[in-house]
Amino acid sequence: EDKVVQSPLSLVVHEGDTVTLNCSYEVTNFRSLLWYKQEKKAPTFLFMLTSSGIEKKSGRLSSILDKKELFSILNITATQTGDSAIYLCAVEGFNSGGGADGLTFGKGTHLIIQP
């Protein structure tokens, strides 16, 4: 059974700080890892990672994947109060026939940015 573990589960920092969120996974046949941001209700897509060592970047957010050690990190620099949200990590696997196995999500990291 595929498994995704995120840490920490919650984190409180001050505006301007840099944070690193962790995601480790176990999946029989790995295809991709995705990060989402969930503010009120609808998770919104941030990154999809498929290759090790290639950083994806969007503004102050960046993410990288290590397929050997089976983990990914999400970095947020110069945090702002608007970054407060739950950050979800998900992995996509595939079955023996090559068909998709759907996304398996972690519990998320609840990030609070204090002014």
Partner 1 sequence: ETGVTQTPRHLVMGMTNKKSLKCEQHLGHNAMYWYKQSAKKPLELMFVYNFKEQTENNSVPSRFSPECPNSSHLFLHLHTLQPEDSALYLCASSQGTSGAKNIQYFGAGTRLSVL
Kindly list the residues in this chain that would bind partner 1 in the complex (CB under 8 A).
4, 31-32, 34, 36, 40-45, 48, 50, 88, 90, 92, 94, 99-100, 102-108
Token pair recorded at residue 46: 């941030």
Shortest distance (Å) from residue 98 CB to partner 1 = 8
- Identify the bridge partners of residue 114 per DSSP, sorted by sequence position: 14
Classify the C-alpha dihedral 12-75-78-41 as positive or negative. Answer: negative
Between 72 and 108, whose beta carbon lies closer to partner 1? 108
Spell out the residues 6+ positions from residue 54 whose beta carbon is closer than 8 angstroms to its own. Answer: 64, 65
Between 19 and 103, whose beta carbon lies closer to partner 1? 103
Between 24 and 79, whose beta carbon lies closer to partner 1? 24
